[in-house]
Structure 1
Amino acid sequence: MQFPTRIGVDPAGYILNQTSTQKIHPVYRELLNQILEMLKRCAGAKVHSVYIYGSVGRGEAVQGTSDIDLSVLLTSPLLPQEKALLDRETAALVHLNPLVPKVDYDMGVVAEVLKQENQFYWGFWLKHVCSCIYGEDLSVKWPRMKPDIRICQAMNQDLMETLAGYRKAILTKEADAYKLQSILKRIVRGAYCYVAVRDESWSTDIRENLQILQHYFPNEAYFREIEAVFLFQKPLNRDDVLSCLDYFITWFSEHSIEGKE
């Protein structure tokens, strides 16, 4: 691997969107149609548009293992009773369908999404991470972007809060093997944001992220240990993941995202 890798960008340096409606495997299409009908049933006319991201949108999903990840844009926030209904119906749908273990929603309100100050969060997200599967595609409102420190900062804006929540889940024994793996993925993706601009890349692959991180941080043993988990399916131990998590909570506070605004 040559560095900077420039993985995930075109010859001009613009980030490539790895998702596409054409990449969605046919086995997921019927389930997505059911989810869209459920969203409209629970939220009604508030549903402005829906976007797929993650492994299903990239055509890399593993049946029975991969979540369905959706960004849902609304004309106004859901009322508590609407949110409760959506949660119940989603849980029931997942329970009856062995295809996916979970359906995740990222909710946003259109007026907030379109604010200029959200270019490097929502603008980047819709333009370069998602593909529209329902409604008006707002990704066309934003320009193409190159790896940028402001994108990296936006993607990590809730990182410390998320890691604190993960820590609590481990301590209260609410974190199963699936959750433990998710914790390691979030650590890796968070750390990759610290070097993406320097590497002139935007990789969505955990193994690529780890290779890149080991180049720029050759003395960080935890990156090698995490790589062993994903390469060789090394068994996950709660205490080991907790130690790793505690280390990186400090690590993130001591390092700065590299790049120029």
Structure 2
Amino acid sequence: MTVLPAPRGVDAQGRLAREGSLARVPPAFRPVVAAVRDRLPAVFGTRLHSAYLYGSVPRGTARVGRSDLDLLVALHGEPADADRAAARALGQALDQEFRQIDGVGTLLYGRERLLSDLERYDLGWFVACLCTPLLGDDLAEHLPRYRPDSLLARETNGDLGRWLPHWRERIAGAEDTEEARRPLVRFMSRHLVRTGFTLVMPRWQGWTSDLREMAEVFGAYYPQRAAELRRAAEYGYEPVGDPEVLRSYVDELGPWLAAEYARVHGVKAPRPD
């Protein structure tokens, strides 16, 4: 019998609490964060509205030499190709300079989109609850306090059914090597575990970003699928290059999860291409 973890990640009123902070950044990663804070204004100039950390670094769980640095940059206007190129160049420079990180991932969005009604329960929630302010005025001041309800579940991960055809294309187009398949397994494992967790999040009434805990919470409500999601959680941290894992994701677990999600919460509102 699965023991359900006690809900966490919410305040006394049941609203989702921001999960990271600069105080939690491990000492080994603080020079990287300082370099980002110093360099971003030079990279984007007056177009920069604000910048945020997210992921394992501000949660305090980053592993030296294994974890990447995740950034979200909000611009005053919609990002252009030049902005994306500048972000890639900065990420590559940081990755080469700081051995404690394994890559840099940067999300670029315009301020207007992040605060739009369409994104209020997806990107807006992401900024307000999963991002740690690093530079500029915090956009969370303009966003609501979120609760782990069905609306949030639908608008964050209610689009798995739309992603599955693209996943199949990526798998078919990948090189037939374990090295080429491992990043796909890692990405898809994490996506599936997070989707499984948000499927049951309104029943659990809490939040966690720990993949193993996500899988345990899911398994308490769907014991017949618990082993699959626990295995996916492990692959999210330590991926394998097994083609059968990818096949099971797009032919079995993924389609079941997409259908169950649509049944319980509905389908995410479509976004512009």
Whether TM-score is above 0.5 comes out as yes
Mapping 1:176-255, distance limit 5 Å: 176-220=181-225, 221-226=227-232, 229=235, 235-255=240-260
Q: Deviations over 1:69-104 (max 9, x none)?
A: 111110012332332233233223313432212211
Question: Partners in 1 of 2:159 and 2:35 — Cα distance?
Answer: 31
- Indicate yes or no: 2:120 matched with 1:119: yes
Question: Partners in 2 of 1:36 and 1:157 — Cα distance?
Answer: 34
Question: Partners in 2 of 1:89 and 1:61 — Cα distance?
Answer: 20
Indicate the RMSD between aligned Cα atoms, in angstroms: 2.7
* Letter in structure 1 aligned against 2:41: K
Secondary structure, aligned partner of 1:14:
coil
* Letter in structure 2 aligned against 1:57: P
Question: Partners in 1 of 2:107 and 2:94 — Cα distance?
Answer: 18
Q: Deviations over 1:24-43 (max 9, x none)?
A: 12322221232344433332
- CA contact 1:65–1:101 (8 Å) conserved in 2: yes
Unaligned runs of 5+ in 1: none
* Letter in structure 1 aligned against 2:196: A
Secondary structure, aligned partner of 1:10:
coil
- CA contact 1:25–1:59 (8 Å) conserved in 2: yes
Question: Partners in 2 of 1:180 and 1:256 — Cα distance?
Answer: 21
- Count of aligned pairs: 259
Mapping 1:158-173, distance limit 5 Å: 158-173=159-174
Question: Partners in 2 of 1:190 and 1:132 — Cα distance?
Answer: 25
* Letter in structure 2 aligned against 1:191: G
Question: Partners in 1 of 2:246 and 2:80 — Cα distance?
Answer: 37
Question: Partners in 1 of 2:107 and 2:8 — Cα distance?
Answer: 26
Question: Partners in 2 of 1:7 and 1:65 — Cα distance?
Answer: 27
Mapping 1:1-261, distance limit 5 Å: 3=4, 5-156=6-157, 158-173=159-174, 175-220=180-225, 221-226=227-232, 229=235, 235-256=240-261, 258=264
Taking every aligned residue pair, what percent have the same amino acid on both sides?
A: 25
- CA contact 1:4–1:201 (8 Å) conserved in 2: no
- CA contact 1:10–1:16 (8 Å) conserved in 2: yes
Structure 1 pair 65–25 and aligned structure 2 pair: CA distance change class (3 A): same
Secondary structure, aligned partner of 1:195:
helix
* Letter in structure 2 aligned against 1:50: A
Q: Offset of 1:118 from its aligned partner?
A: 3.1
Q: Offset of 1:256 from its aligned partner?
A: 2.9
- CA contact 2:161–2:255 (8 Å) conserved in 1: no
Secondary structure, aligned partner of 2:261:
coil
* Letter in structure 2 aligned against 1:41: A
Structure 1 pair 157–104 and aligned structure 2 pair: CA distance change class (3 A): farther
Normalising by structure 1, report the TM-score: 0.86
Structure 1 pair 80–23 and aligned structure 2 pair: CA distance change class (3 A): same
- CA contact 1:120–1:154 (8 Å) conserved in 2: yes
- CA contact 2:181–2:242 (8 Å) conserved in 1: no
